[in-house]
Chain A
Amino acid sequence: GDSVTQMEGPVTLSEEAFLTINCTYTATGYPSLFWYVQYPGEGLQLLLKATKADDKGSNKGFEATYRKETTSFHLEKGSVQVSDSAVYFCALSPLSGAQKLVFGQGTRLTINP
């Protein structure tokens, strides 16, 4: 079945460091891919999305590129801030049964000043 694998956390970085959170997926065909962020005590917010191969999603300095050859959708940011501390979820929306978002386990990110 469809699945998403994220790098294990927690991840701790210093402010202004470069961030990469790895995400790879297994799915039939070409699903849509998403990154959601969850700040402490809150719901999930859509961070960015890509719906086809080679698409790049970007928002708030975060970027991720849909790579079908490596089945990956890694999240990157050039210079993180303390306010980026949160849990990040990679997810896919399969072509069949599209209502069922498939989530990775989440990566907890802490940014120290």
Chain B
Amino acid sequence: DTEVTQTPKHLVMGMTNKKSLKCEQHMGHRAMYWYKQKAKKPPELMFVYSYEKLSINESVPSRFSPECPNSSLLNLHLHALQPEDSALYLCASSRLAGATDTQYFGPGTRLTVL
């Protein structure tokens, strides 16, 4: 089973709201990722967690705050977003963070910021 689940599937929020995206995997993977994908573009890496520790932050604005409470769960907390943050947010996981470790993606959360 290579399933990564994400909730919610869709989210609409105002610029003053606080919301969270959730990602879960039960494959025993120790690396988890957040990506942002705009329409007709490839995914862009935002954050990487390895063994529940943040290992990469791709200079993402602080209005996005990741959290990895345990090895199966990854959250992305959202606060004071801008309309240009509207996108598909994808979570992925891999066994480890090595070159031959395949990243498996979830279905994504489609975020609209009004």
Interface residues of A (CB under 8 A from B): 31-32, 34, 36, 42-46, 49, 51, 89, 91, 93-95, 98-101, 103-106, 108
A to B contact number (C-beta, < 8 Å): 63
Chain A: minimal CB distance from B15 (Å): 25
Is A99 within 8 A of B33, CB to CB?
yes
Asked whether B66 is an interface residue with its Cβ less than 8 Å from the other chain, the reply is: no
Is A51 within 8 A of B100, CB to CB?
yes
Contact of B107 among A43, A93, A104, A108 (CB under 8 A): A43
Known interface pairs A42-B107, A106-B40. Does A99 touch B48 (Cβ–Cβ under 8 Å)? yes
Interface size on B, residues (CB 8 A): 29
Instruction: Give the contacts of B10-64 with A (CB-CB under 8 A).
Output: 31, 33, 40-43, 45, 48, 50, 55-56
Asked whether B90 is an interface residue with its Cβ less than 8 Å from the other chain, the reply is: yes
Which chain B residues border A91 with CB–CB below 8 Å? Answer: 42
Q: A49 vs B104: C-alpha distance in the bound complex, in angstroms?
A: 12
Which chain B residues border A101 with CB–CB below 8 Å? Answer: 43, 45, 103
Which chain B residues border A89 with CB–CB below 8 Å? Answer: 42
Assuming A46-B103, A99-B50, what are 16 further A-B pairs, CB within 8 angstroms? A32-B100, A42-B107, A42-B108, A43-B90, A51-B100, A93-B103, A94-B99, A98-B97, A99-B31, A99-B45, A100-B45, A100-B48, A100-B56, A101-B45, A101-B103, A106-B42
Interface residues of B (CB under 8 A from A): 2, 4, 6, 31, 33, 40-43, 45, 48, 50, 55-56, 88, 90, 92, 97-108
